[in-house]
Structure 1
């Protein structure tokens, strides 16, 4: 009876050992790190570099035994060591025509020594995906400027539907060409940095970081009293000349039926702009301007 129990216990231990050994021989391992961006800019050759960092999860790997492969499109390809750094491997992938997504995973095989015995191990990564986008940003004309400044972005694949955002706040965007768009710095709080992105049909692309500088501005006269149809001039004056491209002043009002006015742009190199304000329907409200100094500039308007 005791011998039977001993045999059963021994069999159970052997089964558990085999299971542990099986788990150690194959499995998904975090020692494989994908270094390929999830979004890749489209290029004319349609060849994309897929890279990974491999650090086998074993204390003593047999030299020369490591084989790194990529499984893509149902095929296995050997990866080569990269000149970018130690433990980094690369594969040059030719994207088939008409494809805009790459799905793949990494597979490694190697031998290691444990308690004087040479063992074989296989590990693999999760399936990862990279999307090919036709739009990408090459450069931002400048990384700082005041509210209202017109800034150019150079790149490729821009469309008329693209919109520039500052931490999610939409900026007035001008489509210049497939390789260039411009935006006017929106009326956001000055003196801080903002994350700038382009959103549109091709997804969202990072542009960079933009710092909004503070600029002082005065308005004269400081209030308006008009009759219906009467015209009065309003002058906006900066303390420094407007930058290249001019400075757009995003003037808003809470009395749109009472105030008729054109867009206000201070020309490049100038310090002021004067526009004509026409009285509309009788009413009262204000003209508002944000982003210049602390708080908000308000010009009271009354139309009788």
Structure 2
């Protein structure tokens, strides 16, 4: 009987052992499942943060002055790792805020200005005429509407506190060139400083020294022959450069000025009717499409204007940069 009891007792522990092994396996599976859930949550959170970051890079949620501006296209980063600084989006918005502040300041200064007196023969704007010219240059220089997505002004790359050059330290230390209206397209050069570029003469050849002098840029390609100023000449490039403002047609400048708050000042300086141009119904659609888009092909003047209106638009385009060069004066 004792043998039976002992034999029976020897078999009893097998059940608790199986239970313990089962429970151990259960807890191990539970731990694996918990670790898997934590991993999935971490990945999901990372993807969510990345999506929000890219949305911020794209400027999602920003609208134009009419509230119906198309948003910039999906984010595309063609650069090698480390080229775009990590604070780029925040810094862009910081500078844009400063640009808008300066634009509002210029609007207030213009509103407070005593109108100049049109007098003399040939006619001139006497008394406050020079100040009116300077304020017009300031208003156009810091006007963000001079770009397809209404998010870039000339002054974005030429801020006063940075010597009228690039104001973002991280950009100056990495990508050098500043991102344009279509983020993150950028050119190849740092922005010229307004403090010296207006002082260069028209490109000329000095026979005594057998050398060329004047012009803007290292290669003097902005000769200044047309406008009498290399500085004004070089400033004609950015508004229609696909890496900068990216307007598809120079006539977009006149089109945007037609609805500018400071249009009366422009017409005071350049004459009544100087912005009376008959634009076709699809002009806004064209001007909010970045230059270089496939829809334009090789057409650099997609806005169909009469010869008379095209000539007016060209004059407005040239006057823009004649005014901007007066700004630092």
TM range (shorter): under 0.3
When normalised by structure 2's length, the TM-score is: 0.21
Q: Which has the higher contact order (CA 8 A, sep 6+)?
A: 2
When normalised by structure 1's length, the TM-score is: 0.23
Between Structure 1 and Structure 2, the one with more helix by share is 2
